[in-house]
Chain A
């Protein structure tokens, strides 16, 4: 089963903000969609990592995999990431975080997720939002780097992040 590939979202974003054939200005809607795609690359990468961990990457065609993939929504993802970017974790998360806290890769990833999700909402819904090509281009670069940071995070930090995302403590 083919699940959405993060790299395809990033490539789609780059196509949207490449100079139009024959020159001319980019359309705002293309820049908006590029920013949105940069965020969705990270979102789908996170959902796949979560489902891979709790169900298994070899079971991607099963219903349980789809359930795990769809378990989390944007608000929960942003809430956890925002908590991680704060100077100190809330007590209910701190006791479940790795000893010594989340590593710098997860913290950088979390910061990028919050930033890109906020911009994604503006890009998708705010008619007064005036994105630029420069901004969209740097957002795509940042999203790619943030995904690499997530993949390079130490296993304890990444697993703790995924479990807190799927099973938020009460």
Chain B
């Protein structure tokens, strides 16, 4: 074995492949961005990390609504009317951006977020709420 091949073998790389291009590396990169291939679901567990959830929501919302409309997102565990665990996701939009949003975009956003959460093993149904920062800050005395 040549010195170069021996070094690769010691480092766990297969000869003839560049570092970072293997399927394993691709999965690692996807994981770091919050995406998991479907066959990895069982390894992930039932509840996703908030960081993963936020990234899925951000990517979907900027793609389906618009990058200009998206401000931030946060999520919290909750329960539905039957006591089942659910995921309350708040998406903060820029003021007046909802005026340009179409129904197709809202439905596609929900479907995509739910599907991608399932892909990382998250079984809680996402209950999505949209708001502007002003609405979140407003007093609730009305």
A121 touches B81 (CB 8 A): yes
B38 to chain A: closest residue by CB: A87
B132 touches A28 (CB 8 A): no
Judged by a CB distance under 8 angstroms, whether B140 is at the interface is yes
Kindly list chain A residues whose C-beta atoms are within 8 Å of the C-beta of B132: 132, 134
Known: A27-B142, A115-B125. A138 touches B101 (CB 8 A): yes
B130 touches A125 (CB 8 A): no
Question: Interface digits, B94-122 against A, CB 8 Å rule (1 contact, 0 not)?
Answer: 00001001111011101100100010000
Centre residue among B82, B86, B106 by max chain A CB count within 10 A: B106
B101 to chain A: closest residue by CB: A138
Kindly list chain B residues whose C-beta atoms are within 8 Å of the C-beta of A119: 127, 129
B102 touches A111 (CB 8 A): no
B140 touches A130 (CB 8 A): yes
Distance in angstroms from A133 CB to nearest chain B CB is 7
- Is the interface on chain B under 10, 10 to 19, 20 to 34, or 35 or more residues? 20 to 34
B129 touches A131 (CB 8 A): yes
Main secondary structure of the interface of A (DSSP, over half): helix
Q: How far apart sit A164 and B108, CA to CA, in the bound complex (Å)?
A: 25
Distance in angstroms from A81 CB to nearest chain B CB is 10
Q: Report how many residues on chain A are interfacial, defined by Cβ distance under 8 Å.
A: 36
Centre residue among A82, A125, A134, A146 by max chain B CB count within 10 A: A134
Judged by a CB distance under 8 angstroms, whether B57 is at the interface is no
Q: How far apart sit A138 and B107, CA to CA, in the bound complex (Å)?
A: 9
Kindly list chain A residues whose C-beta atoms are within 8 Å of the C-beta of B93: 134
Judged by a CB distance under 8 angstroms, whether A12 is at the interface is no
Kindly list chain A residues whose C-beta atoms are within 8 Å of the C-beta of B108: 108
User: Which residues from 95 to 150 on chain A have a C-beta closer than 8 Å to any C-beta of chain B?
Assistant: 107-108, 111-112, 114-115, 118-119, 121-122, 125, 130-135, 137-139, 141-146, 149
List 14 other contacts, CB 8 Å, given A142-B107, A143-B103, A145-B104: A28-B142, A75-B82, A82-B125, A108-B111, A111-B107, A118-B81, A118-B127, A121-B80, A121-B81, A122-B81, A134-B93, A134-B98, A134-B131, A141-B101
Q: 15 A–B contact pairs at CB < 8 A? A: A108-B108, A112-B107, A114-B125, A115-B128, A118-B81, A132-B130, A132-B132, A132-B135, A138-B98, A138-B101, A142-B107, A144-B103, A145-B106, A145-B107, A149-B107
